[in-house]
DNA sequence: TTACAATACCTAAAAAAATTATGTATCTTT
DNA sequence: AAAGATACATAATTTTTTTAGGTATTGTAA
């Protein structure tokens, strides 16, 4: 599992890119460690991104042209800030929309309507 | 991808067990092919379970004691009906609940509240 | 009647993704 | 001085997913 989650490990897959892109859309620019803290805070500790998952994802998004980086020195340490490119902004909105559509689709299965039982002929 | 989906391929991962268990909870007993048709119908063609994904999942759930099977002959063909065991019923409810909790958690990230900005100190 | 589509099951191998386990180094608090 | 937090990174293993294949029956359209 590429994220740590209290209750369900399987469900969260495939959402890391969405999370990262959305956070950057909200916050302008962030560095990796900051993203992990932010997610922890937002979800009240329920979701903990692991670094082994986050950094490869950030690198991939950068390679795909959705993010750009700038380094900043904090004392002797170097922080790598990520921010969205124009196509990254598009991708962020797309990903969030996709997620919401996916959830609606799942609700069709998980909360089936009992209305119009004539249609339930298999 | 172990399910075919029109818009998003990454998001659906990890939901197949949930879908199968919930369908069986709703419908009493179903056979594999029937499950694929049912999902297609419920989601208006948006979600197509592949057999390469479904059958291994059914076998795994059976091995885990969540499903039991009974074979039924239809002419010369044999259908394998699956139904929930008591622990399968529990698992079904659990999985659906987990999914809903997961969605709520994701909404914390995807629809962050702008209220109380004093709390947003990182 | 023949061929194609649908029904119905299944699995192994290849490909992709995720996690674990590391590694390095700095800064802050106790 | 040590421990914990900050901050980056990746390579190898493990797990998961998909693709591609296999078998066989039934219904339907040409």
pLDDT tier at A116 (50, 70, 90 boundaries)? low
Phi, psi for residue A88 in degrees, rounded to 5: -65, -35
pLDDT band at A114 (very low <50, low <70, confident <90, very high): low
Place of tokens 């039991």: B68
For chain A, the structural domain boundaries read 15-112
User: Which of the four pLDDT bands, split at 50, 70 and 90, describes residue A106?
Assistant: very high
The pLDDT assigned to B121 comes to: 41
* Contact flag B10-A7 (C-beta cutoff 8 Å): no
Do A16 and A53 form a contact (C-beta atoms < 8 A)? yes
CATH number listed for the domain at residues A15-112? 1.10.10.10
Whether the CB-CB separation of A49 and A39 falls below 8 Å is answered with: yes
- CB A113 within 7 Å, strand C: no
Which residue out of A15, A48, A91, A113 would a mutagenesis test of the B interface target, given it has the greatest number of B Cβ atoms within 10 Å? A15
Nucleotides of strand C within 7 Å of the protein's CB atoms: 7-12, 17-23, 25-28
- CB A94 within 8 Å of CB A88: no
Topology of the domain comprising B3-110:
Arc Repressor Mutant, subunit A (1.10.10)
SS3 A85: coil
Q: How confident is the prediction along chain B (122 residues), in pLDDT tens digits per residue? A: 345 455 556 777 789 999 999 999 999 999 999 999 999 999 999 898 999 999 999 999 999 999 999 999 989 999 999 999 999 999 999 999 999 999 999 999 999 876 655 544 44
Give residue A8's pLDDT.
58
Percent of chain A with pLDDT over 70: 85
């Amino acid at each position: 599992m590429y994220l740590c989650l209290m209750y369900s490990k399987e469900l969260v897959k495939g959402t890391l890119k969405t999370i990262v892109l959305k956070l950057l859309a909200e916050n302008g620019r962030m560095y990796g460690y900051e993203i992990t803290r932010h997610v922890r805070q937002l979800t009240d500790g329920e979701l903990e991104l692991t670094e082994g998952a986050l950094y490869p994802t950030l690198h991939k998004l950068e390679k795909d042209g959705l993010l750009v980086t700038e380094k900043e020195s904090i004392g002797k340490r170097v922080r790598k800030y990520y921010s969205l490119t124009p196509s990254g902004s598009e991708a962020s909105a797309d990903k969030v929309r996709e997620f919401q559509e996916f959830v609606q689709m799942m609700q069709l299965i998980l909360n089936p309507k009992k209305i119009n039982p004539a249609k339930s002929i298999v």
